[in-house]
Structure 1
Amino acid sequence: MHPDALGLVPPRGMRDIVPPASAGLKQLRSEVMRVFGLYGYDRVTTPPFELADVLERGLDAVDRRELMRFVEPHSGEVALLRPDMTPQVARIVATRLADRPAPHRLCYEGTVVRRMRHRARRRQQTLQAGIECIGWSGPAADIEVLRVADHACQQVGLRGHQFELAHVNIAATMLDLVPTTARQAVADALAQKDAFAIEARLQQAGVPARERSRVLALTELYGDVSVLRAARKRFPTGPVAVALEELGEVVDRLADVSLAAPVTVDLGELRGHSYYTGVSVTLLAEGPGAPVGTGGRYDALLARFGMPAPATGFAFDVDNLAWALRAQGESLLDRAPLRVVVVGEDGVADPLAAALRAGGLPAARMEGNAKQASAYAASWRYPLVIVAGQRSHRVLRTADEQSTRIASDAPDIIVQLTSFAHAATGAAL
């Protein structure tokens, strides 16, 4: 009977990740985390839930209906499953690492949980991998975060993506011109660049023509970095001009940095966490229809935990990153590490499997013949089956049923196995 019929399924919005997809996702996260480490970002591990009154300090205007709450049985206090890791990292820095010199370069990976209301795909469980650079103000820190994210994209082979820069104070300042009752509707229309809907909402709300034109200008201020020149002419003074200056500093410095991905600007961008205070970045790619990653400056967040400090960061939505890679024709299964099934007489197969494991190659022993082992390997996505022999080993490739032989005393047997596993064709014997 199907598990659905028995009710043996995860809660709505949650999911199991089974082999070999789980191994592919783990490898993808590992590649991203390795890049973070290359830039000096130290891994930090955060708890899966926290007390609500602590974590909510860093969640600001997040809709509380999106949070997963429960009563912690030992204390009787309300707790939250973590909906976002950045506030957790901020708490850790403020309470555990405050005595260390800045900047605090920290990275993390894990699952966050949030009720995704008003979404077509009601995914509540999201894999994240991100970095936080705390205690470093100015555009140099923003540039570093962009460089790390760009390097990670190159490492995993992402193509056709772009980094979209914005400044949260620009759209926020314009929305302050809109009455509270109409603000969400205008924000939704602005996200769609729907000038007609914005105009209609603003007129209904009684917003004067001059203010309407300022809000409507945001629907056109997106594209390449030349957009900033037009924006400076449109907003020469005031809070928007200050925000444009800050964004312009980052863009100007990017001219001296060789990012693999193009950089665009969208001054009407509203995505991002409510704690962002300055320049923000959204990583976009074909496939998921949602950001592959988001980040930005959050200079006010640490103060909520008792340690005022500037900060910036970036986080990949690993699920959307995997989706984008699939959209360009790459399979997560190809990222799973090589592993083999070994069959044969115990006196030959057992020492061979042990030697492969000692060399770092996962090897599963199996009884039975080559046909049975091949069926098992194909089902569990083992790329190779080795039929151990005294003088040579027969190696079967499950992807195309090709085979080859490797001498039993070959000193580079793992190299040969790896090469054969990744070859498009092999010589059938």
Structure 2
Amino acid sequence: MPKQAPPRAPVAPVAPAGDELGQRTEGAGLHPDALGLVPPRGMRDIVPPTSAGLKRLRSEVMRVFGLYGYDRVITPPFELAEVLERGLDAVDRRELMRFVEPHSGEVALLRPDMTPQVARIVATRLSDRPSPHRLCYEGTVVRRMRHRARRRQQTLQAGIECIGWGGPEADVEVLRIADHACQQVGLRGHQLELAHVNIAATVLDLVPSAARAGVADALAQKDAFSIEARLQQAGVPAKERTRVLALTELYGDVSVLAAARKRFPRGPIADAIRELSEVVDRLSDIALDATVTVDLGELRGHSYYTGVSVTLLAEGPGAPVGTGGRYDALLARFGMPAPATGFAFDVDNLAWALRAQGQSMLDNAPLRVVVGGDAPAADALAATLRAGGLPAARVDGSVKQATAYAVSWSYPLVIMASGRSHRVVRVHDGETSRIASDTPDIIHQLTSFAHAATGAAL
């Protein structure tokens, strides 16, 4: 059964250590500000070891996607605005980064989201293939910063789209994959918060259009006092005010659905509650790591989503680790009506959540070594290690210099090669040992020593 949780409290952000991903600050050289050589505000360079950790994180998430039959597509970094804007209802137009494409003279957009690109690809390139189309992607999306709390214009995404499959089975598959990916990267205590766009959207239709935006903002904060005041000011009758205010209480564990059925026993809201309940019931048969909760007042993406939606939450970043949902109207805008659902990780926030739990994708990373020592022996050893698939960086100089290099570039081992035997230094604790140059299983022995407790020898 899905684990149950009390109503969600706001998730407080954990202060990052070093850069915003919670990795250590990189480099101690001349700060780029001193030369005026900084990227534009909100953009960033990602350098080792953070880049290595993010690469591993994305690779592991994409590997899980592949386990469920999701094939990777690679989308262009920008597209013509006229095409891409067909599928950007969920994105504030003021966040789009536009420019004039020099060859055509037409307005183009840096991609702010990959789902519309995948929809275009399916409609124009893959429509002759049988459904469902199971596709995945990863890459950078760019949106302008409009809010003080938002520091990034450049975000790493990794996501899936399941196109051509309607019904709760597809929704459950997408949610299951999101949870499985969290399991595989080591995330704990995460929460799948489910909603259905037609619940809050239908209730908001009771509110005059002039007051709707303010009520929606107050509903997002569960601010019943502000909602009541706005509704009274707008002249909304008491019966309708009660229906709107009910949404401020209908969030928390899945038992909320039973209360919602009593509050809204018939009509389109009851239909939406039934659809959401069916997804929750099917999830109860799956051994999820996530806690499943619901928020029937959720309005995120109400102009884009058409059914069940999800927000993946975890301690740390103070923002969603991932979002997704059903968007059955999108494909028709590209000429191919089809049901669809999907999910995307914010990889930066996923890394931050892991770091908040004391984890890093740099932990238990594949072994790589620095090789120094006598040139002929070191060159031969490095070649042997590379032939066996073990990355080996050659350096000259003393063992002290080689170790300093290894520390700076996050290599776990230093090997000082010589004719008969090689000296091995484990960087994190300075433990040393020796290994014969003709050892047949040298990579296995190096790996064992790298991960052994202090005091272990080869």
Structure 2 partner of 1:417: 446
State TM-score, norm by structure 1. Answer: 0.97
My pick for the range that moved more, 240-249 or 96-105, is 240-249
Structure 2 partner of 1:364: 393
Structure 2 partner of 1:4: 33
> Aligned partners of 1:189, 1:306: CA distance in 2, in Å?
37
My pick for the range that moved more, 317-326 or 174-183, is 174-183
Does the 8 Å contact 2:131/2:163 carry over to 1? yes
The residue identity in structure 2 corresponding to 1:296 is: G
2:262 pairs with one of 221, 233, 236:
233
1:208 pairs with one of 215, 237, 246:
237
Cα–Cα, structure 1 residues 142 and 36, in superposed 2: closer, same or farther, change >3 Å? same
> Aligned partners of 1:273, 1:176: CA distance in 2, in Å?
12
1:403 pairs with one of 426, 432, 439:
432
- Aligned pair 1:260/2:289, yes or no? yes
Count of residues paired in the alignment: 429
Gaps of 5+ in 2: 1-29
Does the 8 Å contact 2:190/2:314 carry over to 1? yes
> Aligned partners of 1:274, 1:392: CA distance in 2, in Å?
68
The residue identity in structure 2 corresponding to 1:45 is: I
TM-fit CA distance, 1:122: 2.5
- Aligned pair 1:326/2:362, yes or no? no
In the TM superposition, what are the counterparts of 1:236-247 in structure 2 within 5 Å?
236-247=265-276
Cα–Cα, structure 1 residues 18 and 306, in superposed 2: closer, same or farther, change >3 Å? same
- Aligned pair 1:292/2:321, yes or no? yes
Gaps of 5+ in 1: none
> Aligned partners of 2:352, 2:199: CA distance in 1, in Å?
31
1:90 pairs with one of 119, 124, 130:
119
1:128 pairs with one of 157, 178, 187:
157
TM-fit CA distance, 1:20: 0.9
Structure 2 partner of 1:192: 221
CA RMSD of aligned residues (A): 1.5
1:150 pairs with one of 179, 195, 209:
179
Structure 2 partner of 1:51: 80
State TM-score, norm by structure 2. Answer: 0.91
Does the 8 Å contact 1:24/1:335 carry over to 2? no
TM-fit CA distance, 1:237: 1.5
TM-fit CA distance, 1:169: 1.0
Instruction: Report Cα offsets for 1:153-195 as digits up to 9, x if no partner.
Output: 1100000111111101111112222222322222222111111
Structure 1 partner of 2:12: none
Identity of aligned residues (%): 86
Does the 8 Å contact 1:20/1:336 carry over to 2? no
In the TM superposition, what are the counterparts of 1:25-174 in structure 2 within 5 Å?
25-60=54-89, 62-174=91-203
Structure 1 partner of 2:27: none
Does the 8 Å contact 2:112/2:141 carry over to 1? yes
> Aligned partners of 1:409, 1:273: CA distance in 2, in Å?
66
Instruction: Report Cα offsets for 1:241-290 as digits up to 9, x if no partner.
Output: 11111111111111222212121111111224742110011111000111
Cα–Cα, structure 1 residues 251 and 116, in superposed 2: closer, same or farther, change >3 Å? same
The residue identity in structure 2 corresponding to 1:150 is: D
> Aligned partners of 1:404, 1:154: CA distance in 2, in Å?
36
Q: Whose RCO is larger (CA < 8 A, sep 6+)?
A: 2
